[in-house]
């Protein structure tokens, strides 16, 4: 394995355990993993795995598959017990996170148990390099950990190291290929299954189940059948046999991820069948083996006519799926993007969450920073995700709705030596894992945890200052007030205010000389606001009650419209864009001041990224401000330069 | 050779000769070509090559390399004489063009002589498929005739057929690779020279000399030298040796085409040398062998800051090159794009033409329709080119300035069965050749000639109706009033009004809520208008005298500005865009009416292209109109729908 960044598991993180005497009780593959971790730490720091007089006891008491563990400390002895191997492993990493404090004082026994059973990363990795999308679709961290130029990587050490990092933040499921399933990738289900099994073998010791994205058209493109109709007996039989073969190679296989009838992918609509029909057919094939189908709700018309203001992409997932509530099988999970559009820096929470009580839902976040700076910009997304997870909708939070489904995110990891391109983007991956374990956690506490593990205490205050407000900073210098999509078409990096304005993608801002924004009210707009349960339908319906940060998502208002902040919309645009750039410059200065406190290669990489972030932020500022100045004719109150 | 369209040399075109008795006098390779043409026609139609009692005499009287011929008819005998082989070949094709009328009545002997010695096509063909630009940069006709996936095509039959078509419209030079010279292409100069020699061998029988685009950095990238400094003795020696090797393989090699210090290509600026230094160094290497260097004047700052309104890309060629007038070697030709920007549907004539009396100039046109519909739209460019060639500047027409340089065009041909993707785009290639021969020719006469040769008389009126106004139609529904560049970035197809507005490419329209256009006056703008000789500097300086069709190229005016047509700018935009679409629809109907008069495959291909053209024209109309309606707030006088 090439020399890679240790991320949140640097040598030093294992010192507290590695200097101590640890007793390990129990057997099984995950206990072996735990023992290996402890032995390695002891070799490094002089401690030992012992049979008596331990400082630390790690004990597996059963074999029930539980991920929970109990932790406590009494009489100078720290004890972790678990009734399942994964629980013991999570308990070990809990001790790692606690560091020296795990071996100080006393601690009441307390149980730790993940609130969500499924904590999953989806890799949009292609096996064959896609002519447009490359090796990793929306990947900003080099190549894929799994695939290279059409083949599986021979060396799985990096995959094992990845699994270890994921276990240390609580992730327990990985889908190893892109939801857009092209020709080479389709065959992972059949004649290339061995390559998936090898990856599953590398991830299994870390409590991670492997999933596969499959094409709905597999019976046709792989099986040579004439149809992929989910109600066709031959099709169902083909899938049953395909699934049986998968489980014969990968007994703990997690299941399928499916993007169907979405952006050109095939799906049940071609056969006049519903998405419940499609998902349940795959669920039926997986059920005998304990597998799950993740069925994505990202279904909308991507060939929309921009002239048609009555069609609203934001409505699509709700309109398609809410009528199907109660029809999905028990082992089918409907995977819903957190917002109604597509991972913009600011969106409302999807109204579908909370509107399907009879369906297992998973929320999909995007750790890879497609629209949030592509890992060239610092943009720690913890606060955004936390807002989503804590949002109250239909009498419950998304967390409640997700208890039976889970939390899923698109991974931001590649074969880059820093894993995530931008070293500080590791914080997003870590935060996702920890929020998936405990969705109500304070994200800033998670951030501090990540900083201390990754950097130690020296630069902690500086790193925190750089990261803590970075999402709001990014929001300030990009698309304003929730309006979204002002990025360059295709690659989605950098500003293009009208880039999607006349496109078929359903992503418009409707700016004219008088105002800007999308009227999604029931009274005069697309009616999207009416998809929300109370009180949000009413809150969003009127520009008077709609929160400022979502105003242009829900309403078309004049440039002179007064925000709750007391500023006009146009002055808000100017002010936030100037502020955003100033905040980036300030963050870059803070980072520069850490030069003696941060490992040199890591410091240099971040410094280099800040140069680009600052250039890009200025470009965003000037293009957005000039665009709205040219349209509105309103000068900046403070007389700053507009072009 | 696959089954390809005969273009303007269908079987029927050789019938008048093929049914007659032809006497051929003289020897040499081009006489062999002439004899082969006549014999083939006779085999098809029953005539004969004879020694006595001929209907047609084709006689080579010398070997002076002349391209001229004399044509006459007396006593029922048609006679062509020439003192050079190429002249005899051109004389033969003159007879082909005349058809049956060449064998009727009497005709005074008259001499035909090309007005421009160099009539050249530049192929922007890549040897290796470029990851972004593909096999042919800005190619819309399939692959390359010369190269395929990194290799020369083995079969040269298609190249020979191409040479024959070119000879039949008067072209005598071809550059076989892209002016952007990448790694594989660079080696055509050295170890892959044999591949160029093979192509030259296929084109030579048609009087066509082969040219090569080379990289200025060749001494470094191919020769391993540490510099490409044009004044370095080692560099000059390296080029001299490279050129000598070329001529040992290709004795009639035409010379080099060079894009230097342009859009990232290397050049003399890197060594603090002038472009005259650079060109003359290559000229010196070529001179002993009779070769020419074509040095492109397309030098500008493509990393411009859009915020900076004082920099004007339109000024660049003049500013760079006029100070060098008189410094270029006799066998160096400065190759100037016809307009100051980049082949837009409407540009003024480059002020550089006429401003360099001490320099051999060639004007570069673009037959490939990069910005004019990419061979999905009908857009016959003859009238535009003719306007350029007949434009009076500095006391002479461009034709005068070009007499020692020539006319060059970027080819629109590929391995498509119709040669040019859109069958009607053949008219552009043919028209270019004929205008290069006779720049003052009426382009509509040339069009009729092409129609009669290609289609015969049946559908002629319909084809003429489709083509004759197609350039102005295209102009109507795309960027208005000379403003240019409202295309989608990168591929340049379809509308994106702001697509280049905030880019580094120097291509802006500066539209705001009050008006649009670029102020290039001396009084208040970039001063570009002052680069023109009288009277054009004064004509362009004021919006009152500036022609409507170039108004926004030279001036920023309000939407209410009254054009000479009596319309406001904004109403002109609306009207022309509605008209343009209507004209496309009408042309499509005319074409449909020709279904029984046009060869079915050709008719079907054009019909298919019209579907796309109409869709695209509507998209242009609605995006441009909506853009300006949203900015100006001015409704259409006629109440038509604006979005």
Query: Could you tell me the pLDDT band of residue A83, with boundaries at 50, 70 and 90?
Result: very high
* Active-site pick, A370, A416, A541, A549: A370
| Min Cα–Cα distance to chain B from A308, Å | 9
Residue A502 is predicted with a pLDDT of 97
Question: Rg (Cα) of chain B, in Å, rounded?
Answer: 25
pLDDT in tens, A328-359: 999 999 999 999 999 999 999 999 998 999 99
Whether pLDDT at A59 is above 70? yes
Beta-sheet strands, E only, within A66-219: 69-74, 77-82, 107-112, 119-122, 125-130, 134-136, 147-148, 151-152, 173-175, 209-213
Go through B304-341 and write b for each residue having 16 or more CB atoms within 10 A of its CB, e for each that does not. bebeeeeebbbbbbbebbeebbebbbebbbbbbbbbbb
ipTM: 0.89
pLDDT at position A568: 98
Per-residue pLDDT at A618: 98
Per-residue pLDDT tens digits for B59-107: 999 999 999 999 999 999 999 999 999 999 999 999 999 999 999 999 9
- Judge: B630–A512 Cβ closer than 8 Å, yes or no: yes
Q: Which residues pair with A292 in a beta bridge?
A: A255
- The DSSP 8-state label assigned to residue B492 in this structure reads -
- List pLDDT tens digits, range B47-70: 999 999 999 999 999 999 999 999
Closest CA to A348 of A391, A396, A410, A406: A391
- Checking if the pLDDT of A395 tops 80, the result is no
Q: What are B249's strand-pairing partners?
A: none
Residues B550-601 have pLDDT tens digits of 999 999 999 999 999 999 999 999 999 999 999 999 999 999 999 999 999 9
Q: Count the alpha carbons within 13 Å of A213 in the hemisphere toward its beta carbon.
A: 26
* Nearest C-alpha neighbor of B295 from the set B361, B223, B222, B240: B361
Residue B486 has pLDDT above 90, yes or no: yes
Flag if B630 and A513 touch (Cβ within 8 Å). yes
A633–B514 CB contact, under 8 Å: yes
Report which DSSP code applies to A7. Answer: T
In terms of Cβ atoms closer than 10 Å to its own Cβ (0-12, 13-18, 19+), residue A326 is: exposed
| Tens digit of each residue's pLDDT (9 = 90 or more) over B355-398 | 999 999 999 999 999 999 999 999 999 999 999 999 987 667 77
Question: Is B512 touching A (CB cutoff 8 A)?
Answer: yes
The predicted structure's pLDDT at residue A594: 98
Q: What distance in Å separates the CA atoms of residue B187 and residue B222, rounded to the nearest whole number?
A: 7
Confidence of residue B135 (pLDDT cuts 50, 70, 90): very high
Contact A631 B496 (CB under 8 A): no
pLDDT band with cut points at 50, 70 and 90 for residue B266? very high
Answer yes or no: pTM beyond 0.90: yes
Residues of A in contact with B513 (CB under 8 A): 513, 630-633
φ/ψ of residue B90, rounded to 5: -65, -35
Closest CA to A547 of A326, A359, A391, A342: A391
Distance from CA of B622 to the nearest CA of A (A): 8
Instruction: Please tell me which of the candidates A306, A502, A630 has its beta carbon nearest to residue B512.
Output: A630
CB A114 within 8 A of CB A438: yes
Flag whether pLDDT at A2 surpasses 60.
no
- The position carrying tokens 């949002």 is A391
A75: left (phi over 0), alpha (psi -120 to 50) or beta: left
**Of B499, B502, B622, Cβ closest to residue A623:** B502
Confidence of residue B521 (pLDDT cuts 50, 70, 90): very high
User: What are the tens digits of pLDDT across the range B593-625?
Assistant: 999 999 999 999 999 999 999 999 999 999 999
pLDDT per position as a tens digit, A145-187: 999 999 999 889 999 999 999 999 999 999 999 999 999 999 9
Helices (H), A99-192: 157-169, 183-186
DSSP string covering A219-236: HHHTT--S---TT-HHHH
Looking at residue A475, its pLDDT comes to 98
* Residues contacting A347, CB < 8 A, separation 6+: A338, A339, A340, A341, A482, A484, A550, A553
pLDDT tens for each residue of B149-204: 999 998 899 999 999 999 999 999 999 999 999 999 999 999 999 999 999 999 99
pLDDT tens digits along A457-471: 999 999 999 999 999
Interface check A514 vs B, CB under 8 A: yes
> What is the per-residue pLDDT for A612?
98
What pLDDT does residue B1 have? 52
Which pLDDT band, with edges at 50, 70 and 90, does B399 fall under? confident
A495 contacts B498? CB cut-off 8 A: no
- Name which of A456, A467, A412, A418 is nearest A601 in CA terms: A418
Tokens 């900073």 belong to which residue? A473
Mean pLDDT score, B506-527:
98
Q: How many other C-beta atoms can be found within 10 angstroms of the C-beta atom of residue A5?
A: 18
Q: What is the DSSP letter of A366?
A: E
Tokens read off for B286: 């070529």
Q: State chain B's maximal CA–CA distance in angstroms.
A: 79
A396 is catalytic: no
What pLDDT, in 10s, does the model give residues B193-214? 999 999 999 999 999 999 999 9
Handedness of CA A622, A627, A633, A637 (dihedral sign): negative
By C-alpha distance, which of B347, B433, B363 is closest to B399? B363
Question: Which whole number is the average pLDDT over A590-604?
Answer: 97
Cβ of B513 within 8 Å of Cβ of A631? The answer is yes
For A267-291, the pLDDT digits (tens) are: 999 999 999 999 999 999 999 999 9
Tell whether the model's pLDDT for residue B294 goes beyond 90.
yes
Dist. CA B368–CA A94, nearest whole Å:
65
| Chain B 393-412, residues with CB within 8 Å of chain A CB atoms | none
pLDDT value for B2: 57
């Amino acid at each position: 394995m090439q020399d890679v960044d240790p991320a949140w598991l640097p040598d030093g993180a294992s010192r507290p355990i590695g200097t101590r005497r640890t007793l390990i009780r129990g057997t099984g593959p995950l206990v072996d993993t735990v023992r290996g971790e402890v032995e390695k730490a002891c070799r490094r720091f002089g401690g030992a795995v012992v049979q008596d007089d331990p400082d630390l006891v790690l004990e597996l008491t059963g074999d029930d598959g539980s991920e929970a563990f109990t932790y406590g400390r009494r009489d100078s002895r720290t004890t972790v017990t678990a009734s399942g191997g994964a629980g013991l492993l999570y308990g070990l990493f809990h001790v790692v996170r606690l560091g020296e404090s795990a071996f100080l004082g006393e601690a009441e026994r307390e149980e730790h148990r993940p609130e969500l059973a499924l904590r999953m990363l989806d890799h949009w990795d292609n096996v064959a390099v896609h002519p447009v999308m490359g090796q990793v679709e929306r990947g900003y961290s080099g190549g894929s950990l799994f695939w290279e130029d059409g083949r599986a990587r021979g060396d799985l050490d990096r995959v094992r190291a990845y699994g270890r990092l994921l276990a240390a933040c609580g992730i327990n499921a990985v889908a190893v290929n892109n939801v857009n399933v092209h020709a080479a990738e389709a065959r992972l289900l059949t004649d290339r299954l061995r390559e998936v099994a090898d990856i599953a073998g590398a991830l299994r010791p870390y409590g991670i189940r492997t999933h596969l994205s499959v094409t709905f058209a597999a019976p046709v493109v792989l099986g040579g059948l004439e149809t992929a109709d989910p109600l066709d007996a031959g099709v169902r039989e083909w899938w049953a046999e395909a699934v049986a073969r998968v489980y014969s190679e990968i007994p703990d296989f997690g299941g399928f991820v499916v993007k169907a009838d979405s952006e050109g992918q095939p799906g049940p609509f071609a056969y006049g069948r519903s998405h419940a029909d499609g998902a349940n057919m795959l669920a039926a094939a997986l059920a005998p083996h304990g597998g799950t189908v993740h069925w994505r709700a990202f279904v909308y018309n991507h060939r929309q006519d921009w002239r048609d203001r009555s069609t609203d992409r934001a409505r699509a997932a709700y309109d398609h799926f809410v009528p199907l509530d109660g029809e999905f099988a028990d082992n089918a999970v409907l995977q819903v993007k957190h917002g109604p559009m597509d991972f913009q820096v600011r969106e409302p929470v999807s109204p579908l969450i909370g509107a399907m009580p009879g369906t297992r839902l998973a929320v999909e976040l995007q750790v890879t920073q497609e629209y949030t700076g592509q890992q060239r910009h610092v943009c720690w997304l913890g606060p955004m995700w936390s807002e989503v997870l804590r949002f109250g909708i239909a009498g419950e939070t998304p967390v409640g709705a997700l208890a039976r489904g889970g939390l899923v995110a698109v991974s931001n990891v590649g074969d880059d030596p820093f894993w995530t391109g931008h070293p500080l983007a590791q914080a997003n991956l870590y935060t996702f894992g920890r929020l998936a374990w405990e969705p109500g956690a304070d994200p800033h506490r998670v951030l501090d945890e990540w900083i201390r593990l990754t950097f130690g205490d020296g630069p902690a205050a500086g790193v925190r200052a750089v990261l803590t407000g970075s999402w709001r900073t990014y929001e300030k210098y990009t698309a304003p007030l929730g309006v979204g999509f002002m990025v360059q078409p295709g690659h989605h990096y950098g500003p293009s205010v009208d880039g999607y304005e006349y496109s078929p993608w359903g992503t418009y801002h409707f700016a004219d000389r008088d105002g800007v924004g999308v009227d999604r009210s029931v009274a005069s707009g697309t009616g999207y606001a009416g998809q929300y349960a109370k009180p949000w339908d009413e809150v969003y319906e009127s520009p008077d009650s709609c929160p400022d940060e979502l105003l242009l998502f829900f309403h078309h208002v004049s440039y002179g419209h007064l925000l709750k902040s007391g500023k006009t919309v146009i002055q808000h645009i100017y002010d936030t864009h100037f502020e955003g750039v100033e905040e980036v410059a300030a963050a870059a200065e803070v980072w520069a001041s850490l030069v003696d406190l941060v490992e040199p290669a890591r410091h240099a990489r971040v410094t280099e990224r800040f140069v680009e972030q600052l250039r890009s932020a200025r470009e965003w500022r000037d293009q957005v401000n000039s665009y709205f100045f040219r349209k509105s004719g309103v000068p900046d109150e403070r007389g700053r330069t507009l072009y």
